[in-house]
Amino acid sequence: MNRFPPAPALAASPDYRYVIGPGDTLNIVVWRNPELSTTIPVRPDGKIAAPLVEDLVAIGKDPTTLARDVEKALSKVIRDPVVTVVVTNFVGPYSEQIRVIGEAARPQVLPYRQKMTLLDVMIAVGGVTEFADGNGASILRTVEGNKQYSVRIRDLVKKGDVSANVEMRPGDVVIIPQSWF
């Protein structure tokens, strides 16, 4: 039997806002200034550099907040800039990524999406290996001080038991142990 309490069925927050992270691609549109509009990546240090805007911190901000920061930077050279920031390639900050370790077919890091479920995660990693103890798996929930919850991946993936499906939270780590028999 698993030594952790079962994961709560619904955990996503309705007021979740996407937070920009390194590796995200941003489309910055400056209204009526196409020469200043650009598509740029967020550098590994979490900053961006765009026309007339150098080394602006993007990491940890939502797109609207970053747009206001770009407007502030541009207001030194153009009058009343109107900026929109659209994230076009999602990676997210490390603190919000979902990690899948252990006996997954393809252990990996996934960008968090609101309403993402354990089933979504298992599809992305290709399920579990033949050596996995799927019903002995757990979720380490970093946003709750590393509290661990048991999950029934084998029942979900192999038997189609949707009652075993749970919503993921930003920063969750799915741990799939090896079966001993």
Q: What is the CATH number of the domain that holds 62?
A: 3.30.1950.10
Same domain, 82 and 144: no
Same domain, 53 and 127: no
Query: In this predicted structure, what is the pLDDT of residue 5?
Result: 87
Query: In this predicted structure, what is the pLDDT of residue 1?
Result: 55
Nearest alpha carbon to residue 94 among 38, 41, 162, 172:
172
Query: In this predicted structure, what is the pLDDT of residue 13?
Result: 67
Q: Kindly state whether residue 46 falls inside one of the protein's structural domains.
A: yes
Same domain, 110 and 166: yes
Range of the domain at 150: 94-176
Residue 168 belongs to domain with CATH number: 3.10.560.10
Query: In this predicted structure, what is the pLDDT of residue 181?
Result: 65
Whole-prediction pTM: 0.84
Q: Kindly state whether residue 12 falls inside one of the protein's structural domains.
A: no
Same domain, 55 and 123: no
Mean pLDDT for all residues in the chain:
93
Q: Report pLDDT digits (tens) over 36-93.
A: 999 999 999 999 999 999 999 999 999 999 999 999 999 999 999 999 999 999 999 9
Q: Kindly state whether residue 20 falls inside one of the protein's structural domains.
A: no
DSSP state for residue 118 in the 8-state scheme: H
Interatomic CA distance for residues 100 and 97, integer angstroms? 10
58 contact partners, CB below 8 Å, separation of at least 6: 20, 24, 26, 42, 46, 47, 48, 66
Q: How far is CA 127 from CA 109, 142, 155, 176, in A?
A: 14, 23, 12, 10
Last residue of a domain, one of 89, 118, 137: 89
